[in-house]
Structure 1
Amino acid sequence: MSSALLIAAAVVFAGPADAGETLTPGEWPMFRGPNGSGVGTDPLPADLIQSKYLRWQVDVPGRGWGSPVVADGPEGPTIYVPTAMPDGTQMDVLAYDLATGERRWLRKLFRVAEPDFTHPTNTYASCTPVATNEAVFVHFGKYGTARLDPANGHVVWERRDFECDHFRGPASSPLLVQVDGLSPRLIVPFDGVGEDDQYVVALDAATGETLWRTNRNPEVQEVVPDLRKAYGTPVLAEIGGRTLVVTTGAIATDFLDPATGERVWRIKHGGMNSGSAPQVMDEPDPFQGGPAILVTTGDAPTSMAMLTVEDALDAESAQAGTSKASPPKLVWSSNKSAPKRTSPLRLDSDHVLTVDDGGVASLIHLGRSEPAAGGEVESRVRLGDSYWSSPVMAGAIFTFGKEGTAATLSTGIFRGRAGAPIELKVEEKTSLDEGVWATPALAGGGLVLRTEHTLRFYHPEGTTK
């Protein structure tokens, strides 16, 4: 990797930016919503995915699996989606009015004369943007990262100098970090197959300059190239009185200091090709080690790993923002109903729901209250189809398949006896006219769905026509 990348070369400015600004997160600001949780605030009816609730539908030009994000723009709530020419020679961003589906602007962003190979199941626009009320951050892997003005899509800054052999195409999405004492920063993972292609960078949100770069542990480079790649999206977790960036790559999950990029901890669990966002399982306690973290390994092996920090902290350490907690422990790892590509959905502190590639939805016990039950499947239901779109929850749980299956699940407690497991139940199931690869957004009291060629908004009040 060229040393020029470490000094923020090729930063392009198209207007002033305030380094001390505060950016207001959107209603559904990133991949899978707030901190990658997949959980919305407004309960939605189980039969929402029907034509009578389809408020609008528009065609989206190009091709892309990047998920829609939603923020309150200058003209009201706005949806932002990335797209690209199928051959990768042009990469763009579109903005749509949430209420009407009217296109507000199209920003033709990056032209690429000779794009690298991308697998047919991937696209050149599979990375999900980050949206705030004041800015839109878009990422297309090695081809470019940019901040756009939400009013018109004008470029505030862009970076096109990061090198990475994605091998199968880019798909990792960025994370915007705003914590006390730090300027806002965009955390961007690069996990390709070259020897120097596994690293995480922090870009100043105002200027695009590189604040730090942290390479993955050298042991990642020791495996064969195809096992080095990953597509994970980072999240934040409060651990040991500190806010840390949790980012899963090939082989291991790293816990990074957002101020410096210092690797605080690294937990090796195996795997590669992970496209899942780590899931924070419960609220932190400043005098305990912090929350449990659930990560999925992708392939080789396909499994889920439960990480916890158990050591207590004293009040002085918590007040000072330092950590005396020992490294997170790998409590259990299980291949039972572990998804290769979708992210698990946290239901409560003891349960997650997974939907695997083969169309099986599973309710999995985390073992928080019953350690012996960690990783055990309590309930399972076959949905059919194949799933790369991650499930989301708004009262009911909504899942979408690559062939157009739309299934709504519930986790009602049907206990015929004390201690009986929670049962997973299909409430509604229908078929759309085309498949879904992107994860939906929960915003505006409804559900924004990106299908293979369209963008749709389902709302309990139905159409406005």
Structure 2
Amino acid sequence: MIDTARPPSVDPHMSSALLLAAAVAFAAPADDLDLTPGAWPMFRGPNGVGVGADPLPADLIRPENLRWQVDVPGRGWGSPVVADGPEGPTVYVPTATPDGTQMDVLAYDLATGEERWVRKLFTVAEPDFTHPTNTYASCTPVATRDVVFVHFGKYGTAALDTKNGHTLWERRDFECDHFRGPASSPLLVQFDGLSPRLIVPFDGVGEDDQYVVALDAATGETLWRTGRDPEVQDVVPDLRKAYGTPVLAEVGDRTLVVTTGAIATDFLDPATGERVWRVKHGGMNSGSAPQVLQSPLGVASDAVLVTTGDAPTSLALLATDSDLTQTKGAAASDPALAWSSNAGAPKRATPLLLSLGQAVTVDDGGVASMVALGSDVDGDGGEVLSRVRLGDSYWSSPVRAGGTIFTFGKEGAATTLETGVFRGGADAPPELKVAHKSTLDEGVWATPALVGGGLVLRTEHTLRFYHPDGTNE
């Protein structure tokens, strides 16, 4: 496990006085707060894998299965998260005015859609430009039983009491030129021997705008700050930005934070922020969460699948098994770029791992692909095994409930996929098959949450809960 005896590396750019001034103390002792992650606690659920606990029918997205729907004021692509709060399971979503002058958080009862509270959080006099395809509330929160952690990029990060939305602490002192607006989502890290901490990436275009910070979950104090590799400064500013969500990976006997920025993916020690590894793969604008493979998924080694974003767009498999890295000629302790491929690679949506050694991707143009992950560092991965054209365009990431994969498009397409051997016999590779198609009355940019035996969906202006049992009436 991690050597927690090593002292944390505190941000050299910030004085102790500034740290204390920027963090607002908890209203209650940290020991009295339950930070148990919710059933769908972050972007794409537990550790960003995009898989729900309950199987759901392929025809779930029908009017008769809509249990409730509420209008969400403002504008935001931040995905819904769900935790079992003091009054029961609660859905949290961020929102903002279209011009970015007001940023809020809303909480709804999962069972009924009743509004629990609204927290008007950050007021911004002169927000920076945000691209029309982005919003000022595109970062997804992290939800626990007693605290919901929310993030709006440079405009602020806060811990809110789930009972009433009151601020427990907030930080508004991090500088970053997002250029097109913020969209990275945080990760809550907690395990034995390590105090709970929020990992937050900042990947902007300025000279000092590519870094990752760890904030104490109890106080908001900076525990460490690690800059991206200086090599990112060698590219023009627009190619330095990224919007990825970090995840945790067990690599050998260590637990590491895996975070994708422009050009490369970093493996960081969550205790100190030390960069253990850096794997260069190119690209920028990545908005996905790395996906951690384990040998039970059907590959011969532990590895991490990343989407590199634009320029060029590709899928990349980073092998962390020492046998494979030695085959590649690297040191035994270093990961290697096992393969990369632009076939089936999405620019924005996170890939969805299957238990058969494949991944399902949905690209911006509405093509779903099943991609072989492979097991050979010499490059037998990346082959597209099956492809289905869905129509529409997609930034929402696919999620899976049992054998059903749900996809949602920016113009309202709602298509579910199934996998299986549909032709060629039992020895043939599996294929993707469209199981059900419907059309919503407005588009979807956020990724849904699979909780409570159903699916929570944020559309352009509403929040909806689909359940196989239908309405409450």
Shorter chain as normaliser: what TM range? over 0.9
Q: Which secondary structure does the structure 2 equivalent of 1:219 belong to?
A: helix
Distance 2:52 2:93 in 1: 19
Q: Which secondary structure does the structure 2 equivalent of 1:214 belong to?
A: strand
User: Within 5 A, what are the aligned runs for 1:132-211?
Assistant: 132-211=144-223
Q: Which secondary structure does the structure 2 equivalent of 1:333 belong to?
A: strand
Distance 1:352 1:195 in 2: 35
- Relative to 1, partners in 2 of residues 1:154 and 1:269: Cα closer, same or farther, differing over 3 Å? same
- Deviation sequence 1:3-55 (CA, Å, 0-9, x none): 22776241123513326966211000000000000000100000000001000
Distance 2:233 2:378 in 1: 35
- Deviation sequence 1:192-232 (CA, Å, 0-9, x none): 00000000000000000000000000001121000000000
Q: Which amino acid aligns with 1:163?
A: E
- Deviation sequence 1:310-369 (CA, Å, 0-9, x none): 227xxxxxxxxxxx9521110100000100000000012510000000000000001138
The residue number in structure 1 matching 2:314 is 303
Aligned pair partner of 1:408 in 416, 422, 431: 416
User: Within 5 A, what are the aligned runs for 1:319-334?
Assistant: 326-334=333-341
1:238 aligns with 2:250: yes
Distance 1:279 1:116 in 2: 32
Distance 2:431 2:195 in 1: 45
Q: Is the 8 A contact 2:301 2:375 kept in 1?
A: no
CA shift at 1:415, angstroms?
A: 4.2
1:292 aligns with 2:299: no
Distance 1:363 1:189 in 2: 29
- Relative to 1, partners in 2 of residues 1:378 and 1:5: Cα closer, same or farther, differing over 3 Å? farther
The residue number in structure 2 matching 1:84 is 96
Distance 2:376 2:176 in 1: 43
Aligned pair partner of 1:4 in 3, 14, 25: 14
- Relative to 1, partners in 2 of residues 1:102 and 1:5: Cα closer, same or farther, differing over 3 Å? farther
Distance 1:251 1:284 in 2: 29
Aligned pair partner of 2:449 in 425, 428, 441: 441
1:423 aligns with 2:423: no
Distance 1:230 1:409 in 2: 29
Distance 2:89 2:407 in 1: 24
User: Within 5 A, what are the aligned runs for 1:120-139?
Assistant: 120-139=132-151
The residue number in structure 2 matching 1:102 is 114
Distance 1:392 1:106 in 2: 28
Distance 1:377 1:233 in 2: 25
The residue number in structure 2 matching 1:62 is 74
Q: Is the 8 A contact 1:239 1:289 kept in 2?
A: no
CA shift at 1:281, angstroms?
A: 1.6
- Relative to 1, partners in 2 of residues 1:159 and 1:456: Cα closer, same or farther, differing over 3 Å? same
Aligned pair partner of 2:229 in 212, 217, 220: 217
Q: Which amino acid aligns with 1:339?
A: P
- Deviation sequence 1:426-451 (CA, Å, 0-9, x none): 00001000000000000000000000
- Relative to 1, partners in 2 of residues 1:215 and 1:19: Cα closer, same or farther, differing over 3 Å? farther
The residue number in structure 1 matching 2:4 is none
Q: Which amino acid aligns with 1:170?
A: P
Q: Which amino acid aligns with 2:14?
A: A
- Deviation sequence 1:43-90 (CA, Å, 0-9, x none): 000000000100000000000000000000100000000000000000
CA shift at 1:416, angstroms?
A: 2.6
Q: Which amino acid aligns with 1:167?
A: F
Q: Which secondary structure does the structure 2 equivalent of 1:167 belong to?
A: coil
Q: Which amino acid aligns with 2:340?
A: S
- Indicate the larger mover: 343-352 or 25-34: 343-352
Q: Which secondary structure does the structure 2 equivalent of 1:3 belong to?
A: coil
The residue number in structure 1 matching 2:287 is 275
Distance 1:356 1:110 in 2: 34
Distance 2:224 2:258 in 1: 16
- Indicate the larger mover: 38-47 or 346-355: 346-355
- Relative to 1, partners in 2 of residues 1:138 and 1:289: Cα closer, same or farther, differing over 3 Å? farther
The residue number in structure 2 matching 1:456 is 464
Q: Which secondary structure does the structure 2 equivalent of 1:348 belong to?
A: coil
The residue number in structure 1 matching 2:364 is 357
1:387 aligns with 2:387: no
CA shift at 1:370, angstroms?
A: 10
Q: Which secondary structure does the structure 2 equivalent of 1:114 belong to?
A: coil
- Deviation sequence 1:218-253 (CA, Å, 0-9, x none): 001121000000000000000021000000000000
Aligned pair partner of 2:61 in 45, 49, 52: 49
Q: How many residues align?
A: 453
Dislocated runs of 4+, deviation >3 Å: 19-22, 369-373
The residue number in structure 1 matching 2:275 is 263
CA shift at 1:381, angstroms?
A: 0.5
* TM-score normalised by L of structure 2: 0.92
- Relative to 1, partners in 2 of residues 1:325 and 1:238: Cα closer, same or farther, differing over 3 Å? farther
- Let me know the Cα RMSD of the aligned residues: 2.0
